[in-house]
């Protein structure tokens, strides 16, 4: 019986293990192998990493991604938590449900579609908010997508597509907080601000950490937004804005897969460290 059970468990996971090895383990190994060898398959030490780091575009790309991550994570935490608290406090059931659904709709436009929508919205010639853009001093699309504005623009796009889902998650988590607790706080004289700050937000902490870490991992991968924007902006936005774009450029424009792999390995390391912190700190995976 026991042996049969063991055997069956392995049988059930077999196909998954094959995919895991083929599309998780091997590409990771491949990336590491290429990152530490040169074009002639000789061990190259850290020279690929040095080459990436000394490329004139490298630190610019690191800076771009870092700046974008700051804008994106701050706005995500502030507005998602704020909106979830407001929704939870304010709305009657039907209205709240409708609002959550409507906030969620842009989530269906992930990928290239959301960039298309924002290319239009940011073009003063056709934008439904061209008035706002002109008041802010932008008369042409080129002015709007000037490199200095890009972190904010990518944040707008990412927030527009991604925030709705997280609002739903936070709202659900708020619903899990016992009404007795909130009632007790109210009797003790806590206003909405105090209740939110002292009770609700601390209890949401784990979900906020979860959101920040997944958003961080996603943010480091920035590719489709700058890539399409650079196509559309007639060279105002470069093709080497993000690290993934730079890696792509090394691999397919410069035919230098080793340096491209070095950048991939760096991004993977950052992702893994973040994942490690996540697993260790949040207790999220304590299901076992």
Partner 1 sequence: MPTDRARRRPNPLPALVLVLFLVFFVLPVLWLVLAATKTDDQLVHGHPLSFGSLRALADNWTALTSFQDNAIFGWLGNSALYSFVALAITLCVAIPAGYALAMTEFRGRKTLLVATLVVMLMPNATLVVPLFLELNAVRLIGSMWSVVLPYAFYPFGVYLTYIYFTTAVPRDLIDAAKLDGCTPFGVFRRVALPLAAPIVALVGFFSFVANWTNYFLPYVLLPQSDQFPVQVGLGTLLNSVPQFNPTVGTAAVERPELALATLLAITPVLVVFLFSQRFLVAGMLAGATKE
Least gap, CB of 12 to partner 1 (angstroms): 4
Cα 138 from chain centre: 28
Stretch that binds partner 1, among 3-11, 38-46, 56-64, 194-202 (CB under 8 A): 3-11
Q: 64, 72, 106, 208: which one contacts partner 1 (CB under 8 A)?
A: 106
Q: Does 224 bind partner 1 (CB under 8 A)?
A: yes
Name the strand (E) or helix (H) holding 124.
Answer: none
Residue 129's φ and ψ, nearest 5 degrees, are: -115, 35
Q: Cβ distance 148 to 154 under 8 Å?
A: no
SS3 assignment for 40-58 = CCCECCCHHHHHHHHCCCH
User: Does 241 engage in binding with partner 1 (CB under 8 A)?
Assistant: no
Residues 61-90 that bind partner 1 (CB under 8 A): 79, 82-83, 86-87, 89-90
- Interface positions, 14-43, toward partner 1 (CB under 8 A): 15-17, 19-20, 22-24, 26-28, 30-31, 34
The answer to whether residues 122 and 141 touch, using CB atoms and an 8 Å cutoff, is: yes
Say whether residue 284 binds partner 1 (CB under 8 A): yes
Is residue 243 within 8 Å of 251, Cβ to Cβ?
Answer: no
Site for partner 1 in 150-169 (CB under 8 A): 160, 163-165, 168-169
**Among 50, 102, 146, 181, contact with partner 1 (rule: CB under 8 A):** 102
């Amino acid at each position: 019986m026991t042996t049969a059970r063991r055997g069956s468990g392995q049988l059930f996971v077999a196909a998954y293990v094959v995919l895991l090895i083929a599309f998780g383990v091997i590409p990771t190994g491949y990336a590491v192998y290429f990152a530490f060898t040169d074009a002639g398959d000789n061990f190259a030490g850290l020279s690929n990493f040095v080459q990436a780091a000394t490329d004139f575009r490298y630190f610019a790309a690191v800076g771009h991604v870092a700046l974008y991550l700051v804008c994106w994570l701050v706005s995500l935490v502030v507005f998602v938590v704020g909106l979830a608290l407001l929704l939870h406090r304010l709305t009657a059931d039907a209205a709240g449900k409708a609002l959550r659904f409507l906030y969620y709709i842009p989530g269906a436009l992930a990928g290239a579609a959301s960039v298309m929508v924002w290319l239009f919205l940011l073009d003063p010639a056709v934008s439904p908010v061209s008035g706002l853009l002109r008041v802010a001093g932008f008369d042409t699309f080129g002015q709007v997508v000037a490199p200095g504005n890009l972190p904010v623009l990518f944040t707008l796009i990412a927030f527009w597509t991604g925030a709705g889902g997280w609002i739903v998650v936070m709202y659900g988590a708020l619903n899990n907080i016992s009404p007795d607790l909130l009632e007790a706080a109210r009797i003790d004289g806590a206003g909405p601000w105090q209740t939110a700050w002292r009770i609700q937000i601390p209890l949401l902490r784990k979900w906020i950490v979860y959101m920040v870490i997944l958003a961080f991992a996603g943010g480091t991968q920035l590719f489709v937004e700058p890539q399409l924007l650079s196509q559309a902006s007639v060279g105002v936005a470069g093709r080497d804005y993000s690290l993934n774009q730079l890696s792509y450029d090394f691999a397919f424009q410069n035919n230098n897969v080793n340096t491209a792999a070095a950048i991939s390995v760096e991004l993977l390391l950052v992702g893994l460290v973040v994942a490690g912190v996540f697993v260790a700190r949040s207790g999220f995976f304590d299901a076992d």
